Structure 1
Amino acid sequence: MTADLTVTAVHLTPILVADPPLLNTQGVHQPYTPRLIVEVETADGTRGVGETYGDTKYLELARPFADRLVGRRVSDLNGLFALADEVAVDSSRVSGQVDVGGLRGVQTADKLRLSVLSGFEVACLDALGKALGLPVHTLLGGKVRDAVEYSAYLFYKWGGHPEGVAAEKDDWGAALDPAGVVEQARAFTERYGFTSFKLKGGVFPPEEEIAAVKALAAAFPGHPLRLDPNGAWSVETSLKVAGELGDVLEYLEDPALGTPAMAEVAARTRVPLATNMCVTTFAEIPEAFAKGAVQVVLSDHHYWGGLHNTRQLAAVCRTFGVGVSMHSNTHLGISLAAMTHVAATVPNLHHACDSHYPWQSEDVLTERLTFDGGRVTVSDAPGLGVELDRDRLAFLHRRWLDDDGTLRDRDDAAAMRVADPAWVTPSVPRW
């Protein structure tokens, strides 16, 4: 009997997940970060899961989107874009904003819709795969690798959240200088087997971050290294850092803010530049590629609009000889599974992908995904190959319900002001 793939219900569960005090140029991560778990249910009882950002502005779009999805088939993936266009966006939510959660530049209504759509697309693919008995990578055309390589995502980090702030404890310790960064990298290697390293920069003066990368190069000779200050530097500072680290960096990620500045840096250095800030939509590709502003685009299915759009992005990059890898924000196992499935299908994925997952002590899955030698094995089970732990989901949702609204929108600057009331989000360029 043919399965009935009509969507009969959509379940949206916002949650708050523990997050360590990781530093970036905007401030510091809050003790809990919002995520949204999307479940679609079909007429034959099949359920598919997806995950995306859980801030209020995303929830406001997800709810009407969910209503419109009922009655459609989970296989109607192209139709999701038409549904998204039907959902109105409050312009006050996005006008001129920098998306703090992703540190990915100015946000627009279209970007916001795509970020919501991505969670639904993954849920539909998971349900479709389960109904057909096929893994998601097969639905995307088939895998070209059996395991996907990830990079250790290093952060400057406090030893704990400020005293008096309710938070979960972590065992990573502080990392506020080159020695601390190297020790953190060793821990990542011992626990997960990572062989490449990315440091989130833009936190301390460039000289200190140059020293940290040089310390990593000395501790891990020959291993790929990356540095990402999230556009915190001027063109001249970017060139200075590139000159100092040109012999050890795999690439320099978003040293300066915006395509014109990136193009100027790229024209004056041989160090490849990567981005997840100036190229975040297809409309931003022509200018960046024509100007030679970036040599590697960091895809992210959460804001490109899902797994199919991620594959299209990779194909465009391949056409223009631009490298491709994968950006990561704070995420759980559902997203890591989705990232791994789509990454397994991209032929021109020549750089290890980013992943925040090792930083997350909490998850909504019955079994955490694991890294072996810095790689995640691609599941051949139907759908994403993951299963929700409904007790954990309920627990994390209860935390969201009990919150007074303070943590339902990620705000790294607000979290920093708890420790430093005088903190103001730095203007760009910061150095």
Structure 2
Amino acid sequence: MLTVNTTRPAGPAGRISKVETLQLGTAWRDFGYVRIHTDQGLTGVGEITHPYRVDETCRLAEAMGRRHLLGADPFDVEEVWLRMYQGDFLRGGDIGGIVVSGVDQALYDLMGKALGVPVHRLTGGAARDRVRVYANGWYTGEREPEVFAAKAKETVAKGFTALKFDPFGAGLHELERAELRRSLALVAAVREAVGPEVDLFVEGHARFAMATARRLVHELAPYDIGWFEEPLPWTHIERYAELRQIAPFPISGGEHFHNRYEYKQLFATDAVDIVQPDLSMAGGFTELRKIAAQADAHGMVVAPHNSNSPLCTTASVHAVLGVTNFKILETFDGLLEPYVFEAVRGALPIADGHIGLPTAPGLGIELVDEVFAEHPPTHRFWNMFADGWEKRNRT
């Protein structure tokens, strides 16, 4: 099982004959992709974006392709997943987890194309006609209440019924008094601007000490937020449940875990109310369904994290259509330059805060090499622990 089996008859997609990677530079971050070819002339694509280490994910994807994918049948997804994870001694972690996730997406894309059906027909079908999404990245710029309020109104005017933002600025562990007041003023301004019917989700970026997180739970209570995301570092996962007991709103998290094994402690400690696996980090379609099932068994709903490109947004829509305990999907698509959508041709559009049912075979996306050539990776970095990170200044 840990070696490529070429003795069994291949499925309708044929066997994998080539694995390549591409990178696309944007003003925010570099996006990474894996493209897998078969000897039947089919290609499947997946996203392998890492916020800061796309070079590394691309190199590993190419190396793992040589070790574990060439000659394999794309329909043997469970076996391929295990071969990459166990055979490559990954044992979790971000770079390996992202590569496995992107390869898994590409395999499902190949299967869908070979069968002439959308990927969601292979991952549980559709339990809904459209997927509700929320906007992130809309608040870049000056951290002033009037600025946040105006941008929140603009975003809601586009049809979004839910917004997420990090009001806390730079820093780690604690907030100075002035910073605390400013952060809460931003939340108050956004809530007043959008009214009571719009869901607001507050991001903590896993950076507060317990005492600060405890205070924030109380201070955020008047603003009727939909969840407080990652209030504590995941090195303190055992204290999440303690925070949940005093929170008048749900606690969410999970984007930093890369497979069912890393999720074990989150479920064992009842750390969150809302689980947030990322399709391009948590193991692809193969793992996301298993994680969602575990969440369901623990009375939790699923709101996938997605700070990647429109390819991951589209793939995530396929993934969640059949997840019965799905809540809402994150999107950063409004933050991106128009050429990103030209590079990932066929990405699903957002309309009125929702994404409709996909109909094209596979993921319905093709990578346009010419656009990639025009926009090479930038290797920029923004540090969310430095002043001005919310402006997404690049260095």
In the TM superposition, 1:128-143 aligns within 5 A as 128-143=111-126
Residue 148 of structure 1: CA displacement?
0.7
Task: Write out aligned runs for 1:8-407 (5 A).
Answer: 8-19=17-28, 33-53=29-49, 55-67=54-66, 68-81=68-81, 82-87=83-88, 109-154=92-137, 156-157=139-140, 174-191=141-158, 193-203=159-169, 205-220=179-194, 221-247=196-222, 248-257=224-233, 258-276=236-254, 281-329=259-307, 331-350=308-327, 352-361=328-337, 362-363=339-340, 364-396=343-375, 399-400=376-377, 407=379
Q: Using the TM superposition, give the Cα deviation of residue 284 of structure 1 relative to its aligned residue in structure 2, in angstroms.
A: 4.3
SS at match of 1:326: coil
Compared CA separation, residues 127 and 4, structure 1 to 2 (3 A): closer
- Following superposition, the deviation at residue 326 of structure 1 comes to 0.9
Question: Do the aligned partners of 2:111 and 2:362 also contact (CA within 8 Å) in 1?
Answer: yes
- Rounded to whole Å, the distance in 2 between the matches of 1:249 and 1:418 is 24
Contact 2:112 2:119 in 1 (8 A): yes
Kindly state the Cα deviation for residue 393 of structure 1 after the two structures are TM-superposed: 2.4
Partner residue, 2:7: none
> Deviations 1:73-93 (Å, cap 9, x if unpaired)?
11111122213433367xxxx
Contact 2:311 2:347 in 1 (8 A): no
Q: Which stretch shifts more, 133-142 or 40-49? A: 40-49
1:296 Cα offset (Å): 0.8
Tell me, yes or no, if the aligned pair for 1:39 and 1:123 is still in contact at 8 Å: yes
What is the DSSP-based 3-state SS (H/G/I as helix, E as strand, rest coil) of the residue aligned with 1:14?
Answer: strand
SS in structure 2 at match of 1:301:
coil
Equivalent-residue separation in structure 1 for 2:121 and 2:92 (angstroms): 32
Change (3 A) 1:34 1:311: same
More displaced stretch, 4-13 vs 410-419: 410-419
Number of residue equivalences: 359
Report the RMSD for the aligned CA atoms in angstroms: 2.5
Partner SS, residue 99 of structure 2: helix
- Kindly state the Cα deviation for residue 306 of structure 1 after the two structures are TM-superposed: 0.4
Structure 1 counterpart of 2:155, one-letter code: F
Unaligned runs of 5+ residues in structure 2 are 1-10, 171-178, 390-395
Does structure 2 conserve the Cα–Cα contact (< 8 Å) formed by 1:5 and 1:43? yes
The 10-residue stretch of structure 1 (282-291 or 266-275) with the greater mean CA deviation from structure 2? 282-291
Per-residue CA deviation, residues 330-379 of structure 1 (Å, 9 max, x unaligned), is: x22221110110011111112x2111121111311235532111011121
CA 281–246 in structure 1, closer or farther in 2 if over 3 Å, else same: farther
Query: What TM-score do the two structures reach when normalised by structure 2?
Result: 0.83
- Deviation string 1:178-217 (CA, Å, 9 cap, x unpaired) is 22112222222233x1001111243152322222222222
CA-CA distance at 1:388 after TM superposition: 2.6
Match of 1:411 in 2: 381
Query: Match of 1:48, as an amino acid?
Result: G
Name the CA distance, whole Å, in 2 between partners of 1:123 and 1:278. Answer: 22
Task: Measure the CA separation in 1 of the matches of 2:229 and 2:348.
Answer: 27
Aligned-pair distance for 1:52?
1.4
Deviation at 1:39, TM superposition (A): 1.1
How far has the Cα of 1:142 moved from its partner?
Answer: 0.6
Cα distance change, pair 301–311 in 1 and its aligned pair in 2 (3 A): same
Counterpart-to-counterpart distance in 2, 1:260 and 1:414: 25
Say whether the 8 Å CA contact 1:152–1:185 is kept in structure 2: no
TM-score by length of 1: 0.77
Gaps of 5+ in 1: 20-32, 90-107, 158-173, 420-431
Query: Offset at 1:136?
Result: 0.1
Task: Assess if the C-alpha contact under 8 Å between 2:266 and 2:272 holds in 1.
Answer: yes
The answer to whether the Cα contact below 8 Å between 2:57 and 2:95 also exists between their aligned partners in 1 is yes
Contact (CA 8 Å) 1:201, 1:230: kept in 2 or not? no
The one-letter code matched in structure 1 to 2:20 is H
